[in-house]
Amino acid sequence: MQRLILWTVTLAAFTLVAPTAFAAKPKKSAEERFAKLDANGDKKLSKEEFVGKKTDEAKTKAEKRFAKLDKDKDDSLSFEEFNVTPKKKDK
C-alpha cells in the first residue's frame, strides 16, 4: 500500500513539473537576435559580430551567409539585410 501511495505521489509530482521543465523556449524576435549580436550597439552587424565565436564549418557557413545578406556590400548588415526570410530550396 505504501508503495502504491509513493508511486502515485511521484507520478503526480512528475505530471505537474514535466510540462514546464520540458517546454520549448519562446523564440526571440528578429529585433532581439539582431540586438544581441550587435555588440557595439551601432545598429549594424560587422562580419565579426555576425560570425561570433563559430569555428570551422559553422564559421565558413556564417561567412558565406553574411556575404549573401550584405546586399550593398558595405561589409556590414543593416537590420533590413539581416531580417530576410531564406528562400526554400527546390528539391
Q: What pLDDT does residue 61 have?
A: 97
Answer yes or no: is 71 within a domain.
yes
Q: Supply the CATH number for residue 43's domain.
A: 1.10.238.10
Q: What is the pLDDT along the chain (91 residues), one digit of tens a residue?
A: 787 787 777 766 667 665 665 667 788 999 999 999 999 999 999 999 999 999 999 999 999 999 999 999 999 999 999 999 777 665 5
C-alpha cell at 22: 520540458
* Closest among 34, 24, 18 to 83, alpha carbons compared: 34
Answer yes or no: is 47 within a domain.
yes
CB-based burial label for 8 (10 Å; 0-12, 13-18, 19+):
exposed
| Total structural domains within the chain | 1
